[in-house]
Amino acid sequence: MLWHGAAPPTMCHPESSIRIGHHWILPSPVSGMVHFKLKDGPITVARFDGDGGDYQLAVGEGKTIPGPDTLNNYLWMEVDDWPRWERILIEGPFIHHVGMAYGHYSEALVEACKYIPGLRPIRLNKS
């Protein structure tokens, strides 16, 4: 699941309706959180991070799949090896927030790392 991003309404799934509601964790009498399912398609996920001068870019590809409705902006995704993704993105060295784009762009991101001194790509997918 990719969840609680700040997606624009143009990324709303055609069968989803955009709702404005309360924050799902922080209580407030003021509404302002936008809730909707994101559209379907192939996706690329990336996370840039660094520690002690060692910079890395985690990149991986997947696709959206059906899943239960939830709050904020969200989609359910399928990848080739979820335990591997989870180890890298949750256990470290990365923080669990990622960027997502529609389409498959991992190869372009890995190629870009060749031209940025000190940036090492980490592939989230097995192959």
Predicted confidence (pLDDT) at residue 90 exceeds the cutoff of 90: no
What proportion of the chain, given as a percentage, has pLDDT over 90? 59
Residue 53 backbone phi and psi in degrees, to 5? 85, 0
pTM (whole model) above 0.85? yes
**Mean pLDDT along residues 63-87:** 93
What proportion of the chain, given as a percentage, has pLDDT over 70? 96
What's the pLDDT at 50? 86
Kindly state the tokens that stand for 57: 């870019």
Q: Which of 2-6, 15-19, 42-46, 84-88 is predicted least confidently?
A: 2-6
pLDDT tens profile 26-72 = 777 766 788 899 999 999 999 999 877 889 999 999 999 999 988 88
Range of the domain at 26: 2-123
Q: Where are the beta strands (DSSP E) in 4-118?
A: 19-21, 33-37, 42-51, 54-65, 73-78, 99-102
Determine whether 89 is exposed, middle or buried from the number of CB atoms within 10 Å of its CB (0-12, 13-18, 19+): buried
Predicted confidence (pLDDT) at residue 123 exceeds the cutoff of 80: yes
Predicted confidence (pLDDT) at residue 127 exceeds the cutoff of 90: no
Which CATH number fits the domain that encloses residue 23?
3.20.14.10
Pinpoint the alpha helices (H) of 19-121: 82-90, 106-113
As for how many domains the chain has, the answer is: 1
